Structures are given as structure tokens and as C-alpha cells.
Amino acid sequence: MSSVPSNANASTFPAWPVVFTLAQREVVRFLRQRNRVFGAVGQPVIFWLLFSEGLKPNDLDYGHFFPGTLVMILLFTAIFATISVIEDRREGFLQSVLVAPAPRWAMVLGKILGGATLAMLQALVFLALGWVTLGMQSGPLELIAGVLLMLVIAVALTGLGFVLAWRMDSTQGFHAIMSVFLLPMWLLSGAFFPAGGSGWLAWVVRLNPLTYGVAGLRRLVRVGEPAVVDTLPSLAVCWVVSLAFAAVLLAASWKIAETRSTGDLL
Amino acid sequence: MPQPNAIVVEALSHRYGERTAVDGLSLTVEEGEVFVFLGPNGSGKTTLFRVLSTLIPIQSGRVEMLGHDLATQTNAVRNDLGVVFQAPSLDKKLTVSENLRHQGRLYGLAGQLLRQRTEEMLSAVGLSERAGDIVETLSGGMRRRVELAKGLLHNPSLLLLDEPSTGLDPGSRADLWRYLHTIRERDGVTIVLTTHLLEEAERADRIAIMDKGRLAALDTPTALRASVGGDSILLQSGDPAALAAAVNERWSCNAAVIGGAVRLEQPDGHEWVSRLATAFPNEIDSITLGKPTLEDVFIDRTGHRFFGDQS
């Protein structure tokens, strides 16, 4: 029998292969579930068509809904990817991860990067669809920046999903959170309503970190009719808020997963 | 030089709210032993397993495993510890070898070494042919073998198994035990497992009998059986309480009602059979005489039957 080094400790432990391997697992699992792939690509396209056609009389068009739909894809995929934490727990996969010597942060980052990768793959497919059907108005640099911002948003939302799902024992519970918290968060991000306005709703929109993701994408990824961007927050603000959003949720995910408790079992 | 210890447990207690699952447990597992925690459901052995596997933190007491303090040097323990859970831990959507590859990376294995260990372990559990199959398509017994391969992939010096026979047919169970004894002999792996199956416990070097979170007995199977006072005699009767009282009144021999039957332990059981049958011909429906089993040991030490007897 071959000898296996057993002197690995926290400082020398090869943590990045753990991140990579767990992220890879998410992607492989996703691709093996055909209906998930179909639903993930089909649903946002249907939403986009319906909203754009339905609200055409209000001067809101395919171009207007494009960035919002991109964010919706990121939101839904990221969130559904992290629901798998609940399945991992219930189906038992998580228990063997929890007793392994791999550092907890690597486990969390693997899960989040896996979810974010799935979200990005689908968002890029949708981006290509918009490009082909409506035409791309952004320059190449803007487009690259836009894709990077999408990645930041994807990480933030996957982190949000992780924090919500970690202590949860059923996917049903997650669906409740989805309808009372995540869906309104998307609706109130400027993805749906035109930005601006006044009153409490405008304040909610302003305090919603996702607003800055949507606004940033409106500025960077212009597909079809040029969007009205005058009333939007500046690009710099969009970047700062989105990066902070992602950083806070990454840290929160790490923190929540690092605390061992009896609740790790179910 | 004394035998080094694989596990030292000192005054370990664990509570879930008001309920005490493990209650002041102290014991030692020696290196290279096959050690069984035997107990009915709710005896605290699963909680103990969770603590030893590093899944849940220690609430009170102290545990040293493989020379490391479990509370402060958790990662050092994890490096050298293989865990096979009772509940499945495989990703059903992945293939057998994908599962092992992820597992290996979680333990810091990579590249050639990881491939080699995966092959070795799959061939050891007789699943080389199924390496590329999705776990979902395997039978329950095969999945258990993959679990075992997973737990041993990083060549741990201590293997913890929780109810490893769950879902195995008798043939696979025998295979599992043969393999466990093989790795103990060949690689000196210490094997610690929990079970509620009395016949499984017989295969251990030493048995810790758990009851209500406490250690009811700890010894080799032979010594445990020998500790019961001779033969075990079981009397079936329409009114066991009255019969027990009458027997005790006549001989003061500690007859007790256990699980609806009168039970007593005496050397020279065959003499007692005739003595009892002569004295109470009408009260006794049947008499069973047996050499003590582990269940007798359990009853002897805990005062109740193995499977949830509250009477």
C-alpha cells in the first residue's frame, strides 16, 4: 500500500484544489440534470419576452428589460445553486466534507464559485442571445467590464443564497424566502420599474444593493435601444457597492460555515 | 513500553437541550484494536460517534485521538482519521471515481498519488469495474463499499464506522468484517465502530456496552460472557411477577422479571432446571437454559432488555 503524507497541517494544506474540486462538482451535477439546464435557460427567456411584449405600450422594451433579465438569471441560478447546500446536508454529502481536514473557507469558496460559475455560464448564453437578436451597442472594453461586474454580482448572490440556506433544513423553507425576500429584491432593483421616482419605494430601491448591479449593467451592457441612464447611480458607485456586497456576503458565508454546531447534522 | 492509545475519552458528556445523550463517559481504545460500541438506539453511541468523527464539538470532558487533543488539534486528528457514516455520504449524481477524487482532494491528495489510491481502494472493495458508473445506478451494498473505500482513501490510521452493517446482506456483512480485519492485520489500522447488532459485536476485540449515555461494561466478548454468573435460565409463566417472587422467596436467587419472563443466572443451570420444574410444575409454562450471550451481559449490567423494555 502506498504511503500517504499525514503531516499536512492548516498552513500547508492544498486548499485551492478543494475549491476547484467542489466548484467542479457543482457544474458537473448541474449538467447531468437535463431539466435543470432546460429550465435555467428557458425561464428567463420567457420572462424577457413576456415583460418586453407586455410593457411595450409603456415604452419599456427588450432593451430596457435586458440588464434586469441578466440579473434575474444571476439571481435565480445563484440561489438555486446554493439550495444544493440543503440537499448536500440532507443527502449526506456534506457530512464527509465537514469532517475532512480541508479548511472551511475552501469549502465555502468552492460552493460559491461553483454556483457563480453556473450563473455566469447561463448569463453569458443570454448575453449572446441579446447580442444576436438586438445588436450590441457597447464597446469591447465596456463589455469586458460588464462581464466582470456580472461575476461580482454572481458571487454576491451566491453568497447570499449560501447564508440563507446554510441553517435551513428544507428546500420548502427556502422557497418561502424566495418569494418574500429574493423576488421583491429583484423587482425593486430597477430591473423592472424604471429608476427614479420618489416616496418610500424609491428609498427601498436606493438601499437595495442589487440596484447598483442592475444600474452598472445598464451602463456597461447596452443591447438594442440605448437605455436611459441619466437618473442612474454613477458607474463608480455601482462598482463600489457591488464589490462591497460581494465581500460582505463572502465573509458572512465563511463565518456562518466555520461555526461548528449540532445544527450541522439534522 | 505500554501500548499507545488510539482514543482516550475522559469524562465526556453531551446534552441536547434537557436530554443527556452521553453522560460522563471515560474509556480508552488501544492502537490496532477492533473496538465496538454496542448499545440500543438512544444509548448515546451515535452522539459519541459524532463527537469522535469531529462533526460536533465537545461540550464537556476531554478526548485525545491519535495523540492529539480533539478540541484544539482537530485538523491533526482529521488528517489521520477515516470516517464511514451510517447515512450515505456519496454524491449520487457523480460516478464512483468522481466521488473518490473529490474525497481525496478534501484530504490533500492529488495527481498520481490520488489516482493510485483510488484504484487501490476500488480494487480492494471489488468495484474496479464500476469506477465509471453513476452512484445512483449501484445497489445498496455496492454503495456501502464505496463509502468504505472513501473512508480509507487517505490511508487513515484510525477508522470510525457508524452502524456499518446497515443495509448489508449477511454475505456482504461477512465480507466487510473480513476486510476490516485485513486492514487491521496488514496496516495496523485501529477500527472503532458502533452497532446495535449483538452478533456483530462478537467480532470485536473489545466491546463497550453503552446504556443511557453511560458505559455499562467494557471487556472482551469472552470475558463479558464469563462475567455473567453462570448459565442463564428463562421461565415463561402466566404470572411472571408472582413466579419470580415465589422463586426468590424459596432460594433468594435474584430472579427478576425481564421482558415478560422470569430470568435468573446460576452456575449449574441444568440442576436448577429440574429444581424449578419440580417446585413450580403448574406455574411454569416453559424453561429455557442457555449459555450467557451478550444480551445476557447487557441485561445483567443494565437491568433491562436490549430492545427497549420498560416493564
pLDDT digits (tens, 9 = 90+) for B78-112: 999 999 998 889 999 999 999 999 999 999 999 99
Contacts of B83 in chain A (CB under 8 A): 96, 99
Query: Nearest-CA distance from A13 to chain B in Å?
Result: 6
Query: B4: which DSSP letter?
Result: P
Beta bridge partners of B83: B160
The residue written with cell numbers 444593493 in the block is A209
Asked if this assembly's ipTM is beyond 0.90, the reply is no
3-class DSSP state for residue B38?
strand
Interface of B with A in 28-67 (CB under 8 A): 50, 53-57
What pLDDT, on the 0 to 100 scale, is given for residue A261?
Answer: 60
- Phi, psi (deg, nearest 5) at residue B12: -80, 130
Q: What is the pLDDT of residues A34-93, one digit of tens each?
A: 777 777 778 888 888 888 888 777 767 788 888 888 999 999 888 888 888 888 888 889
Give CA–CA dist A145/A253, Å, rounded: 26
CB contact under 8 A, A92 and B90: yes
**Cβ neighbourhood burial of B16 (10 Å; 0-12, 13-18, 19+):** exposed
Mark the ranges of chain A whose per-residue pLDDT is less than 50: 1-10, 263-264, 266
Whose CA is closest to A223, among A153, A133, A124?
A133
CB contact under 8 A, B79 and A10: no
Beta bridge partners of B118: none
What pLDDT, on the 0 to 100 scale, is given for residue A187?
Answer: 87
CA A160 to the chain's CA centroid:
8
Contacts of A262 in chain B (CB under 8 A): 16, 56
- B103 Cβ partners below 8 Å, 6+ apart? A96, A100, B150, B153, B154
**CA dihedral sign, ordered B214, B206, B53, B4:** positive
Query: Nearest-CA distance from A250 to chain B in Å?
Result: 20
Cβ atoms of residues A115 and A78 within 8 Å: yes
Interface probe with A: pick from B13, B91, B150, most Cβ of A within 10 Å: B91
Does residue A266 sit at the B interface (CB-CB below 8 Å)?
Answer: no
Interface of B with A in 100-159 (CB under 8 A): 101-103, 105-110, 113, 116-117, 120, 134, 150, 154-155, 157
